[in-house]
A and B are shown apart, each in its own frame.
Chain A
C-alpha cells in the first residue's frame, strides 16, 4: 500500500467517524420492589415506554424484596454507591435524607405540589427528597353476612367506636368460631399502624407542635388505647396480619383493618365473601387512618440526576399511575388527576380507599422514627398482652421516645 492510498483510507475513516450521529447513551439504575407476576410486566412496560420516549437513556431495573430490601439499600448508600433511583417506603426517607444520601429535588417538584398527594412524607427540614408514587392507607373491612346474622340491616355501616364495638361484640357472640374483631399480635412495623388510627381519631398527637417532646400518653392517647384494648379483649381474634386476613376471608371475623392488597387477594383468589369497606370509625364520627406509601428518590451520589428525575416524572405521571394501579389493583395513586380515572370512580371499595387518604395521617418525618415506632408497639403489646395496664406502658414509651430524641 503506497502513501497516497493510506492517506485516502485515513481520510475516509475520519469523515465517517465525524459524520456518525452522536449517540451518547446514559444508563440509569432503578431499584424497585414490585416483583409479583401480576405487576412486573407493567413495570417493564412503563420502563420500555420511557426508553422509547427517551432514546438517550437506558434503564436497568433491579428487583428488591421487602424482606431485605431496606438492608440492601442501606449497605449500598453507606458505601456511596447504589442505584440512581430508589423506591422507598415513607418511613425511610427521613433516615436517608438526614444522612445526606438523597438528592434534594425541591426545585424540580415545585410545579407539582398541587397535583399530587403525599408531599408531607417526602419533606424533611423543609426540603423535598422524594416524589410520591403509590400511596397506601388502611380501611375497615366488614363481613356483611355476619352482620346480617347479628341482625343488622344491610345498609349498616359502623361510623363510631360504639357502633363498631357493639357490632363486633354481637358477631363474636354468634358462635365459637366467629370473632368480632381481627386484632394484630405484636408484629413489628404493623401493630402501630393499627393502633395509631384510633389514637389520631381521638384527637391525640404524638409530639408537641414544635416536635420537641413526645405526648403519647396524653389523656386522649390513653382513651384511644383503652378502646383498642376493649375491642381486643371483648371480641379479638389474635393473629398476625396474614392470619387475620385468612380468617376474615374464611368468614370467621366481623371486622378487620387492612389495605388494598386484600382487595387484590379477594379478586385473584376468587373469594366469594360478602364484604364491605368503610372509613375507620372515630369516637363519634368517621376517624383517621394511617398513611404511607411508595416514593421515588434520586441517589445523592448519582452521576445522572437529570436523567433519573426524568424517569421519576415519567413513572409517576397520572397515566402511568393508572396503568400501574389497574395491574396491581392498587387503590391509592398519588396523582390527583389519576384518582379521577373511571377505574377508581367505578369501584366502591377503591373509592373508600381514596376517601380515606384524605383523612390519613402519616407518622412524623423523623430519621429516628423507627425507635419511636418500636416504643409505641412495645406499649401496645404490654397493654394488650402483658400487664394489661394502659397509662403506664404509654408513659414508659413516651419517656423512651424522649430519651431517644435527646440521644
Chain B
C-alpha cells in the first residue's frame, strides 16, 4: 500500500511540478502583483492595495475595452450558436455532396486565426471584395474600408469570428443530433406532430446540454478575444478588448505588470461569474426554452 502511494506520487510529480511552476505560481504571483505598482523596468515595487482596481474603473481605455468585449460576446455568441445549429440541421439531412459541405464549413475553424485575419483584412479594405459586394447590394461601404471606421471595425471582426467559429460548433451540434434516438421522431410522427413541432419538442430539448456546452465554451473564448484584434486593427477604431488591453498594458510600452495583472483578475471574475450562471442553467432540470 505504502509502496503504491509512493509510486503514484513519483509518477504524478512531473505533472505536479509543471503545474506548480508554470501554472499555479504565475497565477498566484500575478494576483499578488495586481495589488502593487510593479513594472518590469522598475527597481522594486510598492504595495498599493486596491489602487490598481480603482484606476482601472476610472480608465476610459479599460472601460472602452470592457464595453467592446461585452459587445463582442453578446453579438457573436447568439449568432454563432444559431447559425451553427441551422447548419448542423442542414448537413444532417441526406443529400448529394453532404460531406463536402460538412468539410467546407469546418475548414475555417482549423485554419490559423492569423491567416484568416490577414485574408479578411484584405477583403475588408477599401475597394475590396466585401466592399464590392456591399455596393452591389445597395449599401454604402465605409469610405476608407471596413476596418478603418469606428462604426464598422468591431462588427466586421465579429462577422469574421462568426464565420470562422460556426463550423466547429456545427460539428458539436451534429454529434448532438446524431445522439437523439430516431424512436422519438417516429413516435412523434405517429402522434401526428409536424416537422416544426418535432424540432421544438424533441430536437431543441434534446440538444440543450450540447447547446449550453457550446455557449459556455464560446463565452469563455469570446471574452478572451485578442489575436484577431492584434492582427487586424491593433485595438484602433474602437476595437480594443479586455485581453488586448492587458497585452498592451503589460507587454508593450511601459510593461505595467501590476496594472495589467489587476485587469486580468477583473476579467477572470467576469468570466467566472458568467460561467457560474451558465453552469447553474446547465444543471436545471426543467427546459429553459
List chain A positions with a Cβ less than 8 A from chain B: 70-71, 74-75, 77-78, 95-96, 99-101, 185-188, 238-239, 243, 368, 370-371, 374, 381, 385-386
Question: Please, how many angstroms separate the alpha-carbon atoms of A140 and B117 in the complex?
Answer: 32
Interface residues of B in 230-271 (CB under 8 A from A): 234, 236-238, 251-255
Quote the shortest CB–CB distance from A11 to chain B (angstroms): 54
With CB as the reference atom, state the residue of chain B lying closest to A185: B148
Contacts A239-B125, A370-B253 known; list 6 others, CB within 8 Å: A78-B255, A186-B237, A239-B126, A243-B125, A374-B253, A381-B236
At the interface, yes or no: B150 with Cβ under 8 Å from chain A? yes
Question: Please, how many angstroms separate the alpha-carbon atoms of A185 and B234 in the complex?
Answer: 11
Partner of A238, one of B40, B145, B251, B254: B145
- A74 and B40 contacting across the interface, CB-CB below 8 Å: yes
At the interface, yes or no: B149 with Cβ under 8 Å from chain A? yes
Number of contacts between A and B (CB, 8 Å)? 52
- A95 and B40 contacting across the interface, CB-CB below 8 Å: no
Q: How many residues of B contact A (CB 8 A)?
A: 21
Contacts known (A95-B41, A385-B150); A370 close to B254, Cβ less than 8 A? yes
Q: Is chain A's interface secondary structure helix, strand, loop, or mixed overall? A: helix
Partner of B41, one of A96, A238, A243, A381: A96
With CB as the reference atom, state the residue of chain B lying closest to A386: B150
Q: Is chain B's interface secondary structure helix, strand, loop, or mixed overall? A: loop
Quote the shortest CB–CB distance from B273 to chain A (angstroms): 30
At the interface, yes or no: B2 with Cβ under 8 Å from chain A? no
List chain B positions with a Cβ less than 8 A from chain A: 40-43, 125-126, 143-145, 148-150, 234, 236-238, 251-255
Contacts known (A238-B145, A385-B144); A188 close to B41, Cβ less than 8 A? no
Question: Please, how many angstroms separate the alpha-carbon atoms of A75 and B252 in the complex?
Answer: 11
- B149 and A385 contacting across the interface, CB-CB below 8 Å: yes
Q: Considering residues A186, A188, A239, which has the most beta carbons from chain B within 10 angstroms of its beta carbon?
A: A186
With CB as the reference atom, state the residue of chain B lying closest to A100: B43
Partner of A185, one of B41, B42, B43, B144: B144
Question: Please, how many angstroms separate the alpha-carbon atoms of A374 and B234 in the complex?
Answer: 12
Question: Please, how many angstroms separate the alpha-carbon atoms of A385 and B143 in the complex?
Answer: 10
Question: Please, how many angstroms separate the alpha-carbon atoms of A386 and B144 in the complex?
Answer: 12
Question: Please, how many angstroms separate the alpha-carbon atoms of A70 and B125 in the complex?
Answer: 30
- B42 and A99 contacting across the interface, CB-CB below 8 Å: yes
Taking CB atoms, residues of chain A closer than 8 Å to B126 are: 238-239
With CB as the reference atom, state the residue of chain B lying closest to A377: B236
With CB as the reference atom, state the residue of chain A lying closest to B255: A74
Question: Please, how many angstroms separate the alpha-carbon atoms of A187 and B255 in the complex?
Answer: 20
Taking CB atoms, residues of chain B closer than 8 Å to A187 are: 234, 236
Taking CB atoms, residues of chain B closer than 8 Å to A75 are: 40
